[in-house]
Structure 1
């Protein structure tokens, strides 16, 4: 894992002193090793590499939650000494605060920018699960709970092992849906679909063209 000094301030600030950056980098180790059976070579396309950045931001956000409130999350405020952080938008359930959608990827070709789209989708998935199932203050030590933040983390990890090498937004979404079937019997299906569809990754989304459609019954 490589950590760096950030040069935007004087004196320079050490990324190792900001928890969300440390968690972001550790999560690269998880996603690279679990996707594609441990090869460490299955997040190589621009889209998959971008999603790798997104998972890392999303997991950093998960570790920062201290209550059931799903506030906007800003990455990297300390290292650049700015409330705006290092991303283009805060992660938010508000489309005004963060307008990024599946179709936004069409105009992007840099992995961190693509990652923002995926991380914001997962921010919305997290918010939906917590709204539906509640929040546990002991999620880090009691993985057997049924609260939304615990469910989110299980599905986050389970889906990595189910998705193909070099996943796309669509195949990664499908892995989340399948992970819920495998672990929870699919009880969160509609919650997941509605969250993904709210940002354009509904049924029929393809080629970075949005779809807000959810399955029949949802």
Structure 2
């Protein structure tokens, strides 16, 4: 299976719930995790960085999951996508205020932290060369952050909701079309939820030149590192 390791996994804060029905993370801790990607100076045009909330095991419900930024003068809802990712608000005011990121779940049920993945394209067309470069960029970033030692890029994975009917094809430069076979699995390595519809594009299994064409925008594209 692929392995997507993200910045500061070893430093992810343990959730400390001050209330019985909620959990929270210090904004300053999250800020320090997220700023690494912003300051990273090597090529990263194919990468994106989110703050992500994910369940520790599959018994934790994600329906209705909410993330809010709370401070003395701040109360902002941070929308989460289907994979628990939010656009992180870099705010000097929140930092100075020692604000908190609150989650409407009991303490210990969730993990949080920076989460780097490959950018999706609205037109659904990905040059094979770009996907290889994207995987290399992600691998280089993980090595910069002290992860993925000894790993190499084997491919990428496209993830969709379980009942989605989208298709993913490889169009070779010579015109041949190969349908990628879907399977059930996690959107990212190590996730507790393993019921997504995923398509794995292995670089070695198909020609070097061509395009991956998706019939709709995937929830995420993850790097396959082995």
Larger radius of gyration: 2
RCO higher in structure (CA 8 A, sep ≥6): 2
**TM surpasses 0.5:** no
Q: What's the TM-score once normalised by structure 1's chain length?
A: 0.28
Structure with the bigger percentage of strand: 2
